């Protein structure tokens, strides 16, 4: 009998990271109806910055802080310089390609600066044990951050503005909401959450492609959960993490990607907008 | 115009014969002196400089280039400078075929040296054979390179995974008798060929075989299964990153097996670099010595820590040409490979041709930086024939526990390697 | 209160608003009438900053607001209730209301909130419900109430009667007059609009073709037949 | 002139041009020429799906994967079959897969479809790991396709012949594609893209049109994969990463979405942008890490700039240019 508890705990930790990166995708999708394919690269840059700060200071927390700040700056720049010019275009494909281009550029820049060699990236706490402090930190952080994001959206004036700007930018403007600023804030918020996900996902080894698979599973989680539903996405991330850990342990690691595909096909054939997504088709 | 019309008609009537039936084209060297001038020789290679295999392998060509620069600064081989062209294939077989075709058809390289990877290089062997281009010192321990009849242009370099696993298996059988053995292996020929070697020696002791997928960095499920199988010894047929992941994951599970690592994943310098940060940081008192000490590994090139004369030479070259790159086993790999090739060029003589280069390899006169002899002869194109076994001590230094051994890839015995090998001074490549 | 001079707005090569001059006096309703496609909605959208004009000026409360972004215009005191109300269906009624005056001090928001609920009692009972559950009339009340949350100096309304039953329309328009706000009312329902308006403009193909007191316009049969269709 | 005849004449002219070009260029440039040919087909198929029907697929590499493995398996296990039968089989296999994918995807919109197809591109190649005996595991399949008619051996160099076969097949498929997309089916596709509800009200069978678009583009993808296998003699999972799928989509946009001419420019960019950037990187004495990653960075920058500056891709620019010239001559 395989050690299901250990598999579940390992899966939960992976799932937390999928959930966090998925949440970043959802925030941006809700704000601008764009799936941000550059998300893993933005997070990667932040993780590498954290790595550099860690190396210089020998600590963990300053690096994390730098990563979060860098995430905010990168998110704002991306929205202002690359996404905003496309807003009036009404072309679904343009932002996809622009964010893909950004993904390539940022990954390449990371490779140029930090090389393709894997760099060891520390855990926040001791990583040993089935319920290691490091794993608990990852899971708790993600749950707390997700809760904070939900609270921000649901119960604060800023959250109301963000939602209004995302849902009906024209109307929101007429109500005194600075729509452009809200979209930027949405990207900033998402990039900060993404940077956190990057730092949490980086250990033990950081390399330019390390977040690619994390991103694929994060997107899978978001699609399963419903791209405009943060709660669904977070649940989707955790469930996917545990499920894939079981698949790897019980059936074989080569089946993990196929299993993710199977779950996705199953869910989408039953519910084309994910388990918790709203089926209100909104043409933008 | 006639040939144009002929072409159009031929295309439209495309193909009468079967696509898979290849006519028996007489394989043999063609364009004897392609890439050769009086003052230079152009060689090429395909390497994963980007993409999934770049971590760990992107520095091989840096080491090789350093040796070629050293040779060229010493006047070259028979007055010829070696022009080394590295093409990035991203570990993508399609691109491998494209860049190798470019090297052969457009750049017209004299030889392909050290093309890296089994999935990649296996796709160009037939092409190189058909084009009559020497394809030497392939950077992979697969068995396929040793096929003098089918692929007369191709020569291996590193010890193949099966030979090496036989030697490691022998060490386990003798040094750890009666212990239960688990295997963590990459789910490709690295793992399959390695397990074939283990099975020749310690099949009955193996209690669990866990594959890992290089695209999936989470090996917790695999280590969990190994722990549950009761394996006291874990043989790692892995690349360095996954050796490190396995060691860390075992520590995470509180699982303390005896790790036995094949040469491709036992680069202690690289492992130390990867694991260094877990000692210093954030409360986790997991020092590199605690993680690595006791690890058993295999090697076939001189150890970076040793005072072997070859190591001394490589350190000099490293310090002069690539001081910014950490001197790992991977870099030494590239250096040894380049040195071996330069040696073959010298052996081939002043009037360089492709046939003479192949003859130089088959002459059996190449004795290189490696700790065991090459198998090169008319009958065998296999590279190094064996390996030594080392352990890592509590100061993360390597200690040889089993002097170089040689064996074959079949059921032959494991025997001590001949103790004599040439020193750099005896080879006297330049100057 | 609101003065528009020489306003030109174009989507592509054809101007939708073509040199409009208009003056909305303070404290009364000014109606803008015209057939479908006459340029009424574009005129409002230009005034409130949703589209940028090619030429002309918009002066509101003594300040030139031409080309201001919509959020700045509403903060200056000119609220715009768009066609169909622009209620955000995914938000609750309470959230929709709150959105109207979020930038104002908390106390002011609370006061306006009470006033709006007093004005439109049906909303009070439906605060926690999704706006999508409201009837057409309730949505229009919500839209106007939401605009009032900003305590505007002037209100621009785009077809508040569209799709509503005549009694509901009448109730809404009456409320509007009772508020004694400066209002610019765009309507196809000319009779209803002129009943509450002090002054009326008639637009056709982007130009002002008539401007007169509401009573005069109501009495001008020729004009009514030509442009207003009743 | 009926569209079919016109398209056939264009294709014949193009083939003559390709053959003429192949005679004057060196063997390796012939390989590149052939690569442009199969990429052209893949990108053209994707532009029908994404450009005409509006379904964004991030997993088109999966169909190339199927085509390449079909040809590889047939060459190895049924060596007596001529290459055109292998290619037809590749088209059929990925066509079936495309119809299945299309049926599953018909209800999906925008990002949901994108996510599902991306998962397809990531997941499908893993099948090779499950059946290593048949599909070669991560090493994949290696083989040599010999198709040179006996009469031409020694007369026509292999690479030139390969370029001819690739382009002949690709152009034939493009004729079919052009005919389909300029006819009623093309109008239905555009109607579905612009507004599904109105299309349905106008009598277009939306679901059927979407599935058909997937089928057509999968057939093109499968053929392209088959041609790649024919040309390069390899079918391995490492060649069909999500990066390939994303590069194909990028090529669609680079060339100009929805246009078969755009597909040509996209294919040229796919082959030559990478090569050009590598030459560029080789040409300077850059630090190794910078040189290694320069081609990727250049590709990314080109994508961003094209989308921001040339919304209609290269073809859009050329069309504008030619229109302006026509106007100025009138």
Contact B292, B394 (CB under 8 A): no
Question: Does residue D159 fall inside a structural domain?
Answer: yes
Q: Phi and psi for D80 in degrees, rounded to 5? A: -80, -15
Q: Smallest Cβ distance to D19: which of B4, B97, B214?
A: B4
**What are the C-alpha distances in Å from B327 to residues A174, B15, B269, D82?**
64, 53, 8, 52
pLDDT in tens, D2-21: 888 889 999 999 999 999 99
Task: Please list every residue in chain B whose beta carbon sits closer than 8 Å to the beta carbon of residue A115.
Answer: 58
Half-sphere exposure of D108 (CA within 13 A, CB side): 30
| B270 closest CA partner among B369, B392, B389 | B392
Residues D145/B126, Cβ–Cβ less than 8 Å: no
CB contact under 8 A, A116 and B55: yes
Cβ pair B253, A213 in contact under 8 A: no
**CB neighbourhood size of A3 (10 A):** 17
Indicate the SS3 state at residue A162.
helix
Residues of A with Cβ-Cβ distance to B256 under 8 angstroms: none
- Cross-chain residue pair D15–B11, CB shorter than 8 Å: yes
CATH number assigned to the domain with residue range B17-159+306-384, chosen from the 4 options 3.40.50.2300, 3.30.2320.20, 3.40.50.1110, 2.30.30.60: 3.40.50.2300
D272: helix, strand or coil: helix
**Does a structural domain hold residue D168?**
yes
Check: CB of residue B267 under 8 Å from CB of residue B328: yes
d(Cα B343, Cα B365) in Å, to the nearest integer?
10
| Domains B17-159+306-384 and B161-304+389-416 alike in fold | yes
Structural domain that includes position D114:
3-239
Name C22's bridge partners: C4
Binding-face residues of D in 214-243 toward A, CB within 8 A: 242
Cβ pair A125:B244 closer than 8 A: no
Tens of pLDDT, residue by residue, chain C (230 residues): 899 999 999 887 788 888 899 999 888 899 999 888 888 899 999 999 999 999 999 999 999 999 899 999 999 999 999 988 889 998 999 999 999 989 899 999 999 999 999 988 889 989 999 999 998 889 998 999 999 999 999 999 998 888 788 888 888 888 878 888 899 999 888 888 888 889 999 998 889 988 988 888 888 877 777 777 66
What is the fold of C2-84+153-228? Rossmann fold (3.40.50)
Check CB contact under 8 Å for D137 and B54: no
**Which of C81-107 are b and which e, b meaning 16 or more Cβ less than 10 Å from the residue's Cβ?**
bbbebbbbebbbbbbbbbbbbbbbeee
pLDDT at C130: 92
For A176, the closest of C91, C95, C102 (CB atoms) is: C102
Cβ-Cβ contacts under 8 Å, A179 against chain C: 71
Q: Which residues of chain D have pLDDT under 70?
A: 1, 326-330
- What residue spans define the domains of chain B? 17-159+306-384, 161-304+389-416
Q: How many CB atoms lie within 10 A of CB C185?
A: 30
D230 touches B at CB < 8 Å: yes
Whole-number pLDDT of residue A281: 42
Q: pLDDT for D234-257, tens place per residue?
A: 999 989 988 899 899 999 999 988
**Dihedral sign computed on CA atoms, order A136, A139, A142, A144:** negative
| Per-state percent for chain D, helix, strand, coil, to nearest 5 | 80, 0, 20
Distance CA D256, CA D265 (A): 8
CB D48 within 8 A of CB D217: yes
Q: Is the peptide bond before A19 cis (omega within 30 degrees of 0)?
A: no
Question: In this predicted structure, what is the pLDDT of residue C78?
Answer: 94
Query: Mind telling me how many Å the CA of D262 is from chain B's nearest CA?
Result: 24
Q: Do the chains contact at B19 and D75, CB–CB below 8 Å? A: yes
Distance CA A195, CA A200 (A): 9
Contacts of B273 (CB under 8 A, 6+ apart): A120, B326, B328
Domains and CATH numbers, chain A: 4-270 (1.10.3470)
Residues A183-194, buried b or exposed e (16+ Cβ, 10 A)?
Answer: bbbbbbbbbbbb
| Residues of chain A contacting B, Cβ within 8 Å | 2-3, 6-7, 10, 14, 54, 58-60, 111, 115-118, 120-130, 132-134, 204-205, 207, 209-210, 213, 245, 248-250, 252-254, 256-257
Q: Which residues in D3-16 are b (16+ Cβ under 10 Å) and which e?
A: eeeebbeebeebbe
Encode burial over A36-64: b for 16+ CB neighbours within 10 A, e otherwise: bbbbbbbbbbbbbbbbebbeeeeebeebb
How many other CB atoms are found less than 10 A from the CB of residue B397?
15
Gap between the Cα atoms of D237 and D127, Å rounded: 9
* Closest chain A residue to the Cα of C81, Cα to Cα: A174
Contact B226, B257 (CB under 8 A): yes
The ipTM assigned to this model is: 0.88
Q: Is D115 touching A (CB cutoff 8 A)? A: yes
Helix (H) or strand (E) holding B361: helix B354-362
Q: Within chain A, which residues score under 50 in pLDDT?
A: 280-284
| pTM of the complete model | 0.90
With beta carbons less than 8 A apart as the criterion, state whether D122 and A284 touch. Answer: no
Residue D205 in any domain: the answer is yes
For chain B, list residues with pLDDT below 70: 1-17, 21-27, 278-285, 431
- Closest partner residue to B15 among D15, D27, D83, by Cβ? D83
Q: How far from chain centre, in Å, is Cα B236? A: 16
Domain count, chain D: 1
CATH of range B161-304+389-416; options 3.30.70.3000, 1.10.275.10, 3.40.47.10, 3.40.50.2300: 3.40.50.2300
Residues of D in contact with B122 (CB under 8 A): 139, 142
Closest CA to B15 of C144, A147, D147, C124: D147
Angstrom distance (rounded) from CA B52 to CA B26 = 37
Chain A residues with CB inside 8 Å of B284's CB?
122-123, 125-128, 134
């Amino acid at each position: 009998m395989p050690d299901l508890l250990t598999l579940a705990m390992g899966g939960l930790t992976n799932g937390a990271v999928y959930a966090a990166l998925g949440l970043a995708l959802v925030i941006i999708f809700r704000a601008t109806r764009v799936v941000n394919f550059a998300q893993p690269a933005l997070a990667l840059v932040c993780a590498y910055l954290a790595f550099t700060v860690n190396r210089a200071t020998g600590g963990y927390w300053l690096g994390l802080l730098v990563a979060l700040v860098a995430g905010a700056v990168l998110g704002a720049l991306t929205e202002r310089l690359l996404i905003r010019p496309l807003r009036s275009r009404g072309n679904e494909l343009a932002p996809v390609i622009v964010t893909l281009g950004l993904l390539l550029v940022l990954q390449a820049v990371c490779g140029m600066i930090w090389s393709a060699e894997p760099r060891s990236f520390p855990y926040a706490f001791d990583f040993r044990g089935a319920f290691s402090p490091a794993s608990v930190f990852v899971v708790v952080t993600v749950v707390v951050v997700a809760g904070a994001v939900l609270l921000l959206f649901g119960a604060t004036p800023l959250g109301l503005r963000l939602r209004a700007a995302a849902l009906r930018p024209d109307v929101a403007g007429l109500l005194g909401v600075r729509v452009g600023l809200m979209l930027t804030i949405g990207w900033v918020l998402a990039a900060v959450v993404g940077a956190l996900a990057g730092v949490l996902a980086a250990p033990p080894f950081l390399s330019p492609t390390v977040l690619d698979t994390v991103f694929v599973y994060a997107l899978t989680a978001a699609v399963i959960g419903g791209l405009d539903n943060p709660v669904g996405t977070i649940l989707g991330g955790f469930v996917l993490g545990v499920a894939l850990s079981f698949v790897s342990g019980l059936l074989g690691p080569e089946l993990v990607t196929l299993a993710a595909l199977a779950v996705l096909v199953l869910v989408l054939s039953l519910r084309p907008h994910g388990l918790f997504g709203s089926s209100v088709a909104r043409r933008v | 115009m006639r040939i144009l019309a002929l072409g159009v008609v031929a295309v439209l009537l495309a193909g009468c014969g079967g696509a898979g039936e290849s006519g028996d084209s007489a394989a043999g060297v063609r364009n004897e002196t392609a890439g050769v001038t009086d003052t230079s020789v152009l060689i090429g290679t395909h390497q994963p400089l980007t993409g999934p295999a770049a971590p760990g392998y992107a520095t091989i060509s840096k080491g090789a280039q350093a040796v070629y620069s050293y040779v060229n600064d010493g006047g070259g081989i028979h007055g010829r400078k070696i022009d080394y062209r590295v093409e990035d294939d991203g570990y993508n077989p399609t691109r491998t075929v494209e860049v190798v075709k470019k090297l052969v058809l457009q750049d017209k390289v004299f030889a392909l040296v050290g093309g890296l990877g089994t999935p990649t290089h296996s796709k160009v062997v037939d092409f190189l054979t058909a084009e009559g281009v020497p394809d030497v010192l392939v950077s992979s321990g697969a068995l396929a390179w040793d096929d003098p009849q089918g692929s007369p242009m191709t020569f291996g370099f590193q010890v193949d995974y099966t030979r090496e696993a036989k030697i490691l298996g022998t060490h386990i059988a003798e040094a750890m008798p009666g212990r239960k053995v688990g295997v963590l292996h990459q789910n490709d020929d690295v793992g399959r060929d390695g397990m074939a070697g283990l099975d020749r020696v310690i099949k009955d002791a193996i209690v669990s075989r866990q594959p890992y997928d290089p695209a999936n960095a989470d090996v917790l499920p695999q280590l969990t299964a190994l722990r549950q199988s009761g394996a006291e010894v874990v043989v790692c047929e892995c690349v360095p990153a996954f050796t490190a992941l396995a060691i860390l994951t075992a520590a995470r599970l509180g699982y303390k097996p005896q790790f036995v690592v094949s040469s491709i994943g036992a680069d202690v310098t690289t492992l130390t670099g990867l694991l260094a940060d877990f000692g210093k940081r954030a409360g986790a008192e997991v020092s590199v010595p605690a993680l690595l000490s006791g690890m058993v590994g295999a090697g076939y090139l001189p150890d970076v820590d040793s005072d072997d004369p070859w190591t001394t030479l490589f350190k000099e070259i490293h310090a002069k040409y690539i001081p910014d790159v950490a001197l790992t086993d991977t870099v030494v790999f590239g250096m040894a490979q380049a040195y071996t090739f330069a040696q073959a060029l010298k052996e081939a003589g002043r009037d360089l041709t492709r046939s003479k280069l192949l003859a130089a390899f088959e002459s059996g006169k190449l004795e290189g930086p490696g700790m065991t002899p090459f198998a090169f002869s008319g009958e065998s194109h296999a590279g190094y024939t064996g390996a030594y076994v080392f352990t890592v001590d509590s100061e993360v230094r390597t200690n040889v526990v089993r002097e170089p051994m040689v064996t074959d890839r079949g059921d032959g015995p494991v025997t001590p390697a001949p103790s004599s090998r040439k020193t750099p001074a005896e080879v006297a490549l330049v100057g | 209160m609101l003065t528009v001079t020489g306003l030109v707005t174009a989507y592509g090569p054809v101007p939708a608003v073509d040199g409009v001059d208009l003056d909305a006096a303070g404290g009364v309703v000014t109606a803008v009438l015209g057939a479908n496609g006459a340029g009424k909605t574009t005129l409002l959208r230009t005034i409130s900053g949703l589209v940028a004009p090619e030429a002309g000026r918009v002066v509101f409360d003594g300040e030139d607001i031409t080309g201001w972004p919509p959020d700045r215009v509403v903060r200056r005191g000119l609220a715009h209730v768009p066609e169909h109300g622009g209620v955000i269906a995914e938000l609750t009624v309470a959230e929709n209301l709150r959105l109207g005056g979020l930038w104002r001090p908390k106390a002011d928001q609370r006061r306006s909130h009470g006033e709006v609920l007093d004005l439109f009692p049906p909303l009070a009972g439906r605060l926690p419900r999704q706006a999508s559950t409201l009837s057409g009339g309730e949505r229009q009340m919500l839209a106007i109430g939401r605009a009032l949350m900003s305590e505007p100096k002037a209100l621009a309304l785009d077809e508040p009667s569209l799709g509503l039953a005549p009694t509901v329309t009448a109730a809404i328009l009456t409320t509007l007059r009772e508020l004694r706000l400066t209002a610019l009312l765009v309507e196809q329902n000319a009779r209803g609009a002129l009943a509450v308006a002090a002054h009326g403009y008639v637009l056709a193909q982007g130009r002002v073709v008539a401007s007169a007191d509401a009573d005069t316009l109501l009495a001008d049969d020729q004009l009514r037949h030509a442009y207003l269709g009743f | 002139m009926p569209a079919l005849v016109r398209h056939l004449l264009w294709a014949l002219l193009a083939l003559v041009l390709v053959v003429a070009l192949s005679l004057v260029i060196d063997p390796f440039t012939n390989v590149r020429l052939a690569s442009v040919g199969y990429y052209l087909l893949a990108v053209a198929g994707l532009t029908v799906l994404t450009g005409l029907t509006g379904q964004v697929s991030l997993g088109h590499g999966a169909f190339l994967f199927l085509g390449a493995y079909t040809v590889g398996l047939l060459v190895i296990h049924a060596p007596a079959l001529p290459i055109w039968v292998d290619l037809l089989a590749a088209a059929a296999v990925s066509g079936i897969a495309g119809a299945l994918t299309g049926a599953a995807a018909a209800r999906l919109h925008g990002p949901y479809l994108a996510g599902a197809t991306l998962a397809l591109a990531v997941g499908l190649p893993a099948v090779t790991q499950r059946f290593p005996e048949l599909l070669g595991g991560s090493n994949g399949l290696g083989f040599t396709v010999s198709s040179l008619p006996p009469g031409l051996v020694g007369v026509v160099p292999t690479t030139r012949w390969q370029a001819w076969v690739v382009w002949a097949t690709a152009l034939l498929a493009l004729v079919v594609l052009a005919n389909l997309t300029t006819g009623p089916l093309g109008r239905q596709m555009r109607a579905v893209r612009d507004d599904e509800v109105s299309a349905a009200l106008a009598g277009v069978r939306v679901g059927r049109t979407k599935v058909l678009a997937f089928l057509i583009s999968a057939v093109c993808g499968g053929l392209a994969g088959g041609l790649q296998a024919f040309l390069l003699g390899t079918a391995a999972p490492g060649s069909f990463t999500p990066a390939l799928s994303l590069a194909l989509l990028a090529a669609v946009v680079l060339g100009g979405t929805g246009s078969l001419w755009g597909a040509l420019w996209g294919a040229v960019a796919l082959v030559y942008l990478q090569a050009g950037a590598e030459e560029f990187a080789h040409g300077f004495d850059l630090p190794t890490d910078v040189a290694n990653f320069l081609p990727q960075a250049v590709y990314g920058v080109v994508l961003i700039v094209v989308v921001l500056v040339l919304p209609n891709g290269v073809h859009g620019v050329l069309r504008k240019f030619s229109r302006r010239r026509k106007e100025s001559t009138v």
